[in-house]
Amino acid sequence: MKKQNIVLTGFMGTGKSTVGRLLAERLGYDFVDTDELIVERDGRSIADIFRESGEPAFRQWEARVAQELSQAVGLVIATGGRMMVDEANAQALQKNGRVFCLTADPHTILARLEGDERRPLLNVSDPEAQIRLLLAARAAAYGRFPQIATDGRTPEQVTDEIVMFIQGGGAAVKTTRLPVTHPTGRYDIIVGENLLNQVRELAQIAGEFVVITDDRVGPLYAHRCAGATAVITVPSGEQYKTLDTVRTLYNELLQVGLDRQGTIVALGGGVVGDMAGFAAASFLRGVDFVQCPTTLLSMVDASVGGKTGVDLPQGKNLVGAFKQPTAVLADISTLYTLDPAEFASGMAEVVKHGLIASPALLKILETGDWRLAAPTPFASVNLQSLVLQAVQVKRDVVEEDPFEQGRRALLNLGHTFGHAIEQVSGYAVRHGEGVALGLVAAANLSARLEYCDPALQSRIEGILQRIGLPIRIPAEFAPEALYQAMWHDKKKAAGKLRFILLRDVADVFIDGDVAETAVLATLHALQA
């Protein structure tokens, strides 16, 4: 079988030759450096070619080499920094090659090239300014290819990441876009694998951007967001979703100098997305905001629709704002590092979306067709399909009701109960686990009020158990305490609690007049 070439592009000083040699050794390929090949064929150094024959002569050599190498197989090719900027060269090498663009910030590049006299384009009085100028000129061309950040990383680490992409993405899942319209514009939900490496291009970020992440996600994925001005890390966990943490974000954003033309990129789960979004809505009276959810729960729910906010001691999300993202990048490759409990937590929102508006999705969950064998529990194509079907329910609802004046409230199915359980537990219960218990409680209350068949509760419980989610409220959470916690939830109206109840699958409604006795009876009935 023919071995597809691996082509490394990127600016000078990003490590193409060093990484290319390591990669060739790992893959059992031959290595070719196009600059070295040109020097060998021409008999002069690159600096001499530029000085004696001019830059056009060197570019002609690049074009000839690109055509020649496009006919070969089993190569790792390190190209000159401008070679793939030329469209004809790029097309030639892409015919039988998979391209990766190595990146580094200007300061890193300058430090790596210090003392190297073989770079004629940098023989100027201010080489760092020249690097910035050239990077800006080549940004669109480089942006066509997956980005691999090299700042602060060893060549071995960069090689490992490329090998991971090659081995894990040989049959890459097609990227899918779901457009979302809202009163002030539109954005795309982009679902696929290995999207973080192209965050600037996919999200169409024109200026500087700052990544906000947490101490669990940042070490795993922040380096993939090539070109970020800074990475700001917050502690992980709902208990840190507070005004104090947001105040810290403001201070750090000021310190790194983000201006009103900048963008905040949220990299993490729902907690990070909520806080980063609230910071984006309020910092400098609003800057652009991109969601890069890394949990299933945040992909299918929290990242879409523009809700942002923080918690107060009295309850969840009591301070916040609507801030629509300019893009949502759901990189499903980040889901493979989730522990089973965290993944199951996200599945609760998928079940919720099936109950609200997608009998077909619920049927898939019920039959277990989405589940596949180890080493990862889900194949990428099935996982992408699952995310797409679930997020489409959310998209359709928020387009119809962007500010939760009507139908959007249905997305809170299970949440009045779930938020109360989370709060009383001191957030020891995960959000998705609370939602799962809330879905069972909503079905129980609906049947108790004779809105639905009691069999619906059993059906929901069967799906949740198959996923690995709880269906009974821990005995230590007193029903009376849970009921009191509900009164701190923002979903009450006109002095009454509002519950999202069910008549059947895809037949969900709001009831703002439920007796306390009925709610307490449901809570008692579901105690473990």
Q: Which of 117, 150, 168 is the last residue of a domain?
A: 168
| CATH classification of the domain holding 304 | 3.40.50.1970
Distance CA 441, CA 461 (A): 10
User: Taking Cα atoms as reference points, which of 409, 473, 481 lies closest to residue 445?
Assistant: 473
349 counts as catalytic: yes
Query: What pLDDT, on the 0 to 100 scale, is given for residue 171?
Result: 37
182 counts as catalytic: no
**β-sheet bridge partners, residue 212:** 232, 266
394 counts as catalytic: yes
The one catalytic residue among 62, 193, 404, 433: 404
- The reply to whether 398 falls in a domain is no
Distance CA 291, CA 519 (A): 36
Residues of the chain with pLDDT below 50 are: 1, 169-173, 372-381
Q: Which of 102, 136, 168 is the last residue of a domain?
A: 168
End-to-end distance of the chain based on CA atoms, in angstroms? 58
- The reply to whether 394 falls in a domain is no
285 counts as catalytic: yes
72: which residues sit within 8 A by CB, 6+ positions away? 5, 96
- The reply to whether 365 falls in a domain is no
Query: What pLDDT, on the 0 to 100 scale, is given for residue 372?
Result: 37
- Categorise residue 82: left if φ over 0, alpha if ψ from -120 to 50, beta otherwise: alpha
**Would strands 97-103 and 5-10 be described as parallel, antiparallel, or unpaired?**
parallel
25 counts as catalytic: no
311's tokens: 């918690």
Distance CA 522, CA 346 (A): 24
With b for 16 or more beta-carbon neighbours within 10 A and e for fewer, the 277-295 pattern comes to bbbbbbbeeebbbbbbbbb
Residue span of the structural domain in which 65 resides? 5-168
- The reply to whether 388 falls in a domain is no
Pair (88, 189) in one structural domain: no
Helix (H) or strand (E) holding 296: helix 296-297
The one catalytic residue among 16, 98, 307, 353: 307
524 counts as catalytic: no
Query: What pLDDT, on the 0 to 100 scale, is given for residue 375?
Result: 34
Pair (184, 206) in one structural domain: yes
Pair (206, 150) in one structural domain: no
Query: What pLDDT, on the 0 to 100 scale, is given for residue 376?
Result: 40
Pair (155, 203) in one structural domain: no
307 counts as catalytic: yes
What does the pLDDT look like over 234-263, one tens digit per residue? Answer: 999 999 999 999 999 999 999 999 999 999
Pair (31, 148) in one structural domain: yes
519: which residues sit within 8 A by CB, 6+ positions away? 445, 483, 486, 497, 499
The one catalytic residue among 82, 138, 200, 394: 394
Pair (207, 119) in one structural domain: no
The one catalytic residue among 40, 174, 285, 450: 285
- The amino acid present at 246, given as its one-letter code, is V
- The reply to whether 379 falls in a domain is no
Q: What are phi and psi of 309, to 5 degrees?
A: 160, 180
The one catalytic residue among 16, 200, 323, 415: 415
The one catalytic residue among 395, 431, 448, 498: 431
Pair (285, 329) in one structural domain: yes
Query: What pLDDT, on the 0 to 100 scale, is given for residue 118?
Result: 60
| CATH classification of the domain holding 30 | 3.40.50.300
Pair (160, 193) in one structural domain: no
**Would strands 185-192 and 263-268 be described as parallel, antiparallel, or unpaired?**
unpaired
407 counts as catalytic: no
- The reply to whether 229 falls in a domain is yes
Q: Which of 168, 194, 214 is the last residue of a domain?
A: 168
- The reply to whether 346 falls in a domain is no
- The reply to whether 381 falls in a domain is no
Pair (497, 481) in one structural domain: yes
Pair (11, 150) in one structural domain: yes
| CATH classification of the domain holding 470 | 1.20.1090.10
106's tokens: 């200007």
Pair (156, 12) in one structural domain: yes
Looking only at Cα atoms, what is the longest distance across the chain?
Answer: 91
Pair (145, 184) in one structural domain: no
With b for 16 or more beta-carbon neighbours within 10 A and e for fewer, the 462-500 pattern comes to ebbeebebbbebeeebebeebbebbebbebeeeeebbbb
Query: How many domains is the chain built from?
Result: 3
The radius of gyration of the chain from alpha carbons, rounded to an integer in Å, stands at: 26
**β-sheet bridge partners, residue 291:** 266, 328
Reported residue count of the chain is 528
Alpha helices per DSSP H over 6-151:
16-27, 34-42, 46-53, 55-69, 87-94, 106-113, 127-142
